Amino acid sequence: MLAKYNTPLSDRQALYLRLAVGLVFGLLLAFLSEQIDAFRKTQDGNYNVWPPEMVWNRILFASVALTAFVVWAGAGAMRRLSLAAWTITAFLLLLLIGWSQSEGEAFRGYSFMFHADTFLVYPLLFIAHELISSADQARKPIAPYEVYFDQAWKRGVQLALSLLFTGLFWGILWLGAALLKFIGFEWFGDLLEETYVAYPLSGLAFAASVHLSDVQTKLLANVRALILGVLSWLLPVIVVVGLIFVVSLFFSGLQPLWATRAATGTLLGACLAMVLLINAAYQQGDEERPVNIVLKLTARAAALLLLVFAILAAVGLSLRVGQYGLTPSRIIAFIGVIVALLYGVAYAIAAVMPGRWLRLLEPFNIGLAITKVAIFIAVLTPIASPARLSVDSQIARLNAGEVTPEAFDWQLLRFKTAGYGERAIDKLITDGKTQTIRDLATKAKASQNLYDFDGGKLAAKTPEAKNYRLVYPAGATLPQSFLSQAFNAENEYASAPCLNTGVCDAALIDLNGDNQPELLIRKDKALHIYRLKDEKWEILKVSYDLNEASVKAFTEGRIQLARPEWSDIKLGDKQLKINERY
């Protein structure tokens, strides 16, 4: 009996369902948004204390919005009962993710739709939907690879086109509002600003665009083929750049890479790009279509480079974690490293295996997609919450004596891990190993602002003269007041370059004519300028745009003042910057 009704919707039925979801969900989102705005007006800028009902309001808002995408994408492809079951499952999973993230998110008035640490919810939902939708269409738990390929790339292109359509839709509406305003009619613009108009209109526009792209199969296929073709021929470019980078490392060593403090993120971005471009070149293999020999060779090379980049990213992250322990952002990076290593190993095996070109990519891609879904669900729920794991890691370091109570990251517990950190602080207040730990935990709990408590952490380390080479003026020495001042070793804005390791060039020069020289410290292509104020050195400016010539000039001590061509004008308490002309 159920099988009779468990059939895919017709095109007309899919259109009606999509439009209904766009309208109804849009009205529901407008209602939730109005409640949020009304609550905000009572908060007077204090968004850290949100009652549970408002936290759940934000969770429900995000869950409803993302569930709409599930219905829009599945309406034209999945069977009715399968779509209903998957929609309910996805909605409940999103609620669970929202609750978990609210427990670990410092900003309690958050929306996990727009938060950096929870961006994994988007690839999770996309990948899970394609796995379930493709399996439903194939009528088997694991669909043939060509079904996964066709559906995933189709939905990706469809999503991009629908976002573009919706943006153009609103652009035209606001253009009409502007034209009416020119002749004295503002009612149309005011109407578009109404929440109960904006959300349903956006839902209807997006639903219509999804359906139009779904039924125009030839158009969508042509656009997808064009995108795949363009992306595939970017593969040789990234391979050449990657090879130049790897070869250059043999001459420069790894230290300059780690000194950037952004190496892991950049390397993971390169891994993501290579995975995308390798799959764009491979598509469904070389049996159904001829593949240029250049693409075949560069795809194999990219697969091996992918493993090298993933290993470098893992090494870079391990150095940071070994120094400072886990934080939520480092755990997210750790997940990226794990996924990159899995892809690197799998693709490297596929590249060196004899036989048909990269034939193992197909089973590996399916297995890796399922693995990513499992990993992302674990990270986005209490199973492996980054906030919980970070708190556990930091508390373990404190109890093991790897970090002193004064240098411990109390801000992480108090302000950056919400419920997990707050409960850990409460436990330290009563069960801390030493009185110092208990006192600082009490102080952290009483703190109301991220910036008004450091737990003694700023008194971390004093600079060592051997780490600085004074290049200007000749014969001078570093001020003793600088060498005796304690700087925060972990916060670059309250720290000093080369505080821990390395050697920096330094110079003393009076920049403002007060007979008190400022201190300039160069590290790589960044110039840090310090001034002495109230007997303490503080950062005045950091410039990151030094070029090779300016670095050489600084190293050689060729430094001179350049006075502005035009003086400023002061009128009362207002100063006109004449030198900043346009």
Grouping H, G, I as helix, E, B as strand and the rest as coil, residue 543 is strand
CB within 8 Å of 8: residues ≥ 6 apart: 76, 77, 78, 79, 80
> What's the confidence (pLDDT) of residue 106?
45
- Quote the CA–CA distance of 416 and 327 in Å, as a whole number: 9
HEC sequence for 215-281? HCHHHHHHHHHHHHHHHHCCHHHHHHHHHHHHHHHHHHCCHHHHHCCCHHHHHHHHHHHHHHHHHHH
- Quote the CA–CA distance of 98 and 56 in Å, as a whole number: 8
Q: What percent of the chain has pLDDT over 70?
A: 88
> What's the confidence (pLDDT) of residue 263?
80
> What's the confidence (pLDDT) of residue 344?
95
At residue 306, φ and ψ (nearest 5 deg) are -55, -45
Mean pLDDT lowest among 224-228, 282-286, 489-493: 489-493
Grouping H, G, I as helix, E, B as strand and the rest as coil, residue 531 is strand
At 165, the amino acid letter reads F
HEC sequence for 308-333? HHHHHHHHHHHHHHHHHCCCHHHHHH
- Quote the CA–CA distance of 230 and 225 in Å, as a whole number: 9
Residue 519, both tokens: 């201190």
Mean pLDDT lowest among 1-15, 27-41, 106-120, 216-230: 106-120
Question: In this predicted model, what pLDDT tens digit does every residue of 18-56 receive, in sequence order?
Answer: 999 999 999 999 998 888 777 776 665 454 556 677 778
Paired residues of 222 in beta bridges: none
Mean pLDDT lowest among 278-282, 375-379, 504-508, 537-541: 537-541
pLDDT at 104 over 70: no
Cβ atoms of 98 and 112 within 8 Å: the answer is: yes
Q: Cα dist. 345→304, 360, 391 in Å?
A: 8, 12, 31
Helix (H) or strand (E) holding 25: helix 11-40
At residue 275, φ and ψ (nearest 5 deg) are -60, -45
Q: Cα dist. 532→179, 358, 470, 529, 544 in Å?
A: 56, 62, 17, 10, 22
Strands 536-543 and 526-533: antiparallel
> What's the confidence (pLDDT) of residue 459?
44
pLDDT at 3 over 80: no
CA dihedral sign of residues 543, 544, 549, 553 = positive
- The number of helix segments (H) and strand segments (E) in the chain equals 21, 7
Q: What integer is the mean pLDDT of 49-64? A: 79
- Quote the CA–CA distance of 362 and 359 in Å, as a whole number: 6
Domain ranges of the chain: 2-224, 233-384, 386-446, 465-557
Question: In this predicted model, what pLDDT tens digit does every residue of 161-217 receive, in sequence order?
Answer: 999 999 999 999 999 999 999 988 889 999 999 999 999 999 999 999 999 888 887
* DSSP one-letter code for 414: I
Cβ atoms of 467 and 499 within 8 Å: the answer is: yes
At 528, the amino acid letter reads H
Strands 504-509 and 526-533: unpaired
At 41, the amino acid letter reads K
> What's the confidence (pLDDT) of residue 582?
44
> What's the confidence (pLDDT) of residue 5?
66
CA dihedral sign of residues 366, 275, 71, 94 = positive
pLDDT at 544 over 80: no
HEC sequence for 364-381? HHHHHHHHHHHHHHHHHC
Mean pLDDT lowest among 135-144, 225-234, 250-259, 541-550: 250-259
- Quote the CA–CA distance of 118 and 114 in Å, as a whole number: 8
How far, rounded to the nearest angstrom, does the alpha carbon of residue 16 sit from its chain's CA centroid?
A: 36
pLDDT at 453 over 60: no
pLDDT category of residue 457 using cuts at 50, 70 and 90 = very low
Cβ atoms of 211 and 76 within 8 Å: the answer is: yes
At 29, the amino acid letter reads L
> What's the confidence (pLDDT) of residue 434?
86
Q: Cα dist. 224→76, 218, 219, 283 in Å?
A: 18, 10, 9, 11
Residue 407, both tokens: 């240098």
Q: What integer is the mean pLDDT of 413-426? A: 81
